[in-house]
Chain A
């Protein structure tokens, strides 16, 4: 049983299925079952900016403690979906949605839910690193301070833990109280990751986190993602196909606001089922 979504009008045909169904291991894809799911996009989730619909009929299960990549050409809605998970889209006027998104079984659109609490459980790292114009120390402990936790011992411990986890501790431990803006680009992005994990979230959302970085810094971040997934569920939007194959366990391909294909990463990239997926990953459009 697969959780694929194919388009309503299939002009392109899917790949030819083998006549012999028993030799089907290379085309069958393991679905995400209930116990593994952390984030579920359900009930044909749709999303609108004002009167324009931008996400259509999405049903998707993102597994716990794995890396899931969202890929697709510009304007396909992957960033929009990502920003739904921590309700950053609420900053825009006139948005509306149908369907639901749950994290750990809890709907994130529940009116009794405080958005600022949600955002402490679902952290975000942005495309262009955006550290605050404060010291490194203050950057990391920001989310604790806004929660009202100012105990120095707690903050010190959090700073060390988060910076170690982000592979930044050794480089900055002697200058915690210097401005964060004096770091290099790659260091600043790792600082943003440290800031996102300081409050021990369950999910880390990453919106093209390496697009502003050089290959060495990108490599460091990708290594970091690999280590972080033991403790956090990571959803990453990326334009870079190679990166998706390097870091993710599952990949979802979006096109024009619809989910075209979703499955294990290796399968999706070596043997995609949908022609559109095939064309996209082969670089024929987007």
Chain B
């Protein structure tokens, strides 16, 4: 052996670099995507300083016609589109849509007296307020009117503390009457609706004369009306309570002045949160960020989905994905078991397998159309005819319309091929020797499958579930046809019997992104919401996948015979 003979380089070394580059490229793209979404989404929640700015005398970009000062937070800093001399502009969030007619304003940096953002004035006392309507407001407080006679001026020492406390009170009261209206009154409405439908069914296709002639029918209707009255009485009491609480919200009010000079008075009940951003220390900022993010996750939307939280969409997406998984797993696994273990190889079986694989390539909107035709009209219609004749008679569909059940089933159908394929692979990976060992112990074929093959292939089954969930949670097109709505009045799972409402329509994160991003009246205002929702959707899918991966790893350790 001589060194000179042992120096031949292995062939194909450039391929190592090529494959590494491919991986690097993919990783970079994913990281960039996540970073862009993260940054754009997260900055929504991070408190920004509010500046007081002055425009040049001849600027055409005044916020308010009367004056060339205004207040706002910087939301964008970019080159002016179309300008090739590198001039830049700021996008300011100025709020106060009710007064200005807009929330965002682009201002060329050249028009500002001071355009260096590090040198801008940050007035300490300026306030930002989240409101029920018209989004946020930026202002200086003037005075509070408490009840009918007391007026508290902003200069008084505990003014801010008192203001915050009162706003908090209003928030609690609002939560109370919202709960009252949703739960208790909601229950009553349900019952009344049902009775209405029953009455409608009784009187359907009959003229009033016929009804009056029929004594038994009249008696029935009267009984129902009496029942309805009882509910109505209860309704009156609760409605009065709610009404009282709503009125209490109007009791106190705040008068404030914008930097541009306009003044306005609003009842305290219209405020959700007031804060002074320029007084935040780092601890305050983090606290603010966390509470904003939490609010985003847990609150209901306001202002045509542009403000508030997206909790219903998160919940709807989650419930739908779970229902879809419950539907697709048994169906897909059993089909795969039959194909792999029991079916005799032949033309038919091969045909079925080809069909299943091709199903994976069908565009998802086609599944939506199938869902409408088969699930909603045929299946839903049949169920209504058989079990809910009252609804049919009153021309109100129960299951014969879009809902979370049909949406889950449609998506289940769409993801079945994925589950079937991965399950088949996992089953095939269980070595023949282990199966023979089970049979030699006197197990029947099904016992072998149930006790040995399935546990051993469980990791592979979960891989199928992960892939199915990933695909299902992200699809939007079919959902638009089978049960997703822009704004859902109720959650599909709540405290009203029967607790799980498979017929309800629901909200979905993917659809929400589409709706907010492309269908909302004010696209600038909606942009942060779009990114935040996208970020959340990715987060939700990642969390669900992680859970499944952890379960799969646990099972691998316990059961694995192969490298699946």
Do any beta carbons of A and B sit within 8 angstroms of each other in the complex?
yes
Chain A interface (Cβ < 8 Å from any Cβ of B): 86, 88, 91, 116-117, 119-120, 123-124, 126, 128, 130-134, 142-143, 145-147, 179, 181, 192, 195-196, 199
By a CB distance below 8 angstroms, the chain A residues around B558 are 133, 179
> Any chain A CB within 8 A of the CB of B303?
no
Assess whether B452 is interfacial by the CB under 8 Å rule. Answer: yes
**Interface pair B437/A132, CB less than 8 Å apart:** yes
In the complex, A14→B439 CA distance in Å? Answer: 43
Is the CB of B455 closer than 8 A to any CB of chain A? yes
CB distance from B280 to the nearest CB of A (A): 55
Q: What residues on B are CB-neighbors of A199 within 8 Å? A: 441-442
Q: Which of B434, B441, B560 has the most CB of A within 10 A?
A: B441
B residues contacting the other copy or chain, number (CB 8 A): 21
- Quick one: closest B residue to A118, CB to CB? B442
Q: Which of B434, B436, B441, B447 contacts A133 (CB 8 A)?
A: B434
Q: Give the interface SS of chain B, mostly helix, strand, loop or mixed.
A: helix
CA distance A205 to B561 in the complex (A): 25
Q: Chain B residues with Cβ under 8 A from A116's Cβ?
A: 442-444
Q: A142-B451, A181-B561 are in contact. Are A130 and B442 (CB under 8 A)?
A: no
B370 within 8 A of A: no
Among residues of B, the one whose C-beta sits closest to the C-beta of A179 is B558
A86 near B440: Cβ-Cβ < 8 Å: yes
- Min C-beta distance of B294 to chain A, whole Å: 43
Contacts of B433 in A (CB 8 A): 126, 128, 130
What is the CA–CA distance of A135 and B560 in the complex, to the nearest angstrom?
Answer: 12
Write the chain A residue with the least CB distance to B452: A132
Question: Which residues from B are CB-within-8-Å of A91?
Answer: 436, 439
User: Given A128-B433, A133-B561 in contact, is the A119-B440 Cβ separation under 8 Å?
Assistant: yes
Q: Is the CB of A146 within 8 A of B437?
A: no
B-chain residues with CB within 8 Å of residue A132 when the two chains form the complex? 434, 437-438, 452, 456
For the complex, what is the distance from the CA of A179 to the CA of B447, rounded to whole Å?
20
Complexed CA–CA distance, A120 and B442 (Å):
5
Say yes or no: B440 contacts A88, CB within 8 Å: yes
Chain A hits for B436, CB < 8 A: 88, 91, 126, 130
> Known: A142-B451, A145-B451, A146-B451. Is A133-B442 also a contact (CB below 8 A)?
no
10 A-B pairs with least C-beta separation:
A120-B442, A143-B441, A124-B440, A130-B433, A130-B437, A119-B442, A146-B443, A133-B561, A116-B442, A133-B559
Tell me which residues across on chain A come within 8 A of B434, comparing CB atoms: 130, 132-133
User: Which residues of chain A are near B447, meaning CB under 8 Å?
Assistant: 146
One of B431, B441, B444, B456 near A195 (C-beta < 8 A):
B441
Residues of A within 8 A of B559 (CB): 133-134
Binding site for A on B (CB under 8 A): 431, 433-434, 436-444, 447, 451-452, 455-456, 558-561
Query: Nearest Cβ distance between residue A189 and chain B, in whole angstroms?
Result: 12
Contacts of B560 in A (CB 8 A): 133
Contact B439 A146 (CB under 8 A): no
A117 to B442 alpha-carbon distance, docked (Å):
6
CA distance A147 to B436 in the complex (A): 17
B442 touches A147 (CB 8 A): yes
Shortest distance in angstroms between B252's beta carbon and chain A's nearest beta carbon? 67
- 16 of the cross-chain contacts (CB-CB < 8 Å) are A116-B443, A119-B439, A119-B441, A120-B441, A123-B441, A126-B437, A130-B433, A130-B437, A131-B437, A132-B434, A132-B456, A134-B559, A142-B443, A143-B441, A146-B444, A195-B437
In the complex, A192→B438 CA distance in Å?
11
Q: Smallest CB–CB gap between A119 and chain B, Å? A: 4
CA distance A147 to B444 in the complex (A): 10
Give Cα A82–Cα B447 distance, bound, in whole angstroms.
24
Which of B433, B437, B443, B451 has its CB near the most chain A CB atoms (within 10 A)?
B437
Beyond A146-B441, A179-B558, 11 extra complex contacts between A and B, CB < 8 Å: A91-B439, A116-B442, A130-B431, A132-B456, A133-B456, A134-B455, A142-B451, A146-B438, A146-B443, A147-B442, A195-B441
* Contact in complex: B438, A142 (CB < 8 Å): yes
Q: Which residues of B contact A120 (CB under 8 A)?
A: 441-442
B457 to chain A, nearest CB (A): 10
> In the complex, A179 Cα to B555 Cα: how many Å?
12
- Which residues of A have CB within 8 Å of B561? 133, 181
A190 to chain B, nearest CB (A): 14
Q: What residues of A have a CB within 8 angstroms of the CB of B452 in the complex? A: 132-134
Known contacts A130-B437, A132-B434, A132-B438; is-contact A143 B443 (Cβ 8 Å):
yes
**Chain A residues whose CB sits within 8 angstroms of the CB of B439 once the complex forms:** 88, 91, 119
Docked Cα-Cα span, A132 to B561, in Å, equals 8
What's the least CB distance linking B299 to chain A, in Å? 48
Residue on B nearest A205 in the bound complex, by CB: B440
The distance in angstroms between the C-alpha atoms of A145 and B560, with both chains bound, is 21
Which residues on B sit within 8 Å (CB–CB) of A145?
451
Residue of B with least CB distance to A86: B440
**CB-based contact B437/A133 at 8 Å:** no
Q: Which of B431, B442, B455 contacts A143 (CB 8 A)?
A: B442
A119's nearest neighbour on chain B, judged by CB, is B442
What is the minimal beta-carbon distance from B207 to any residue of chain A, in angstroms? Answer: 67
CB-defined contacts of B455 to chain A, threshold 8 Å = 133-134
A52–B447 alpha-carbon span in the complex (Å): 32
Chain B residues closer than 8 Å to A133, beta-carbon distance: 434, 452, 455-456, 558-561
Most buried by B among A133, A134, A142: A133
Return chain B residues, CB-CB under 8 Å to A86. 440
- Asked if A142 and B440 make an inter-chain contact with CB atoms under 8 angstroms apart, the answer reads no
CB-CB under 8 A from B444, the residues of chain A are 116, 146
- With known contacts A126-B433, A132-B434, A146–B440 Cβ distance under 8 A: no
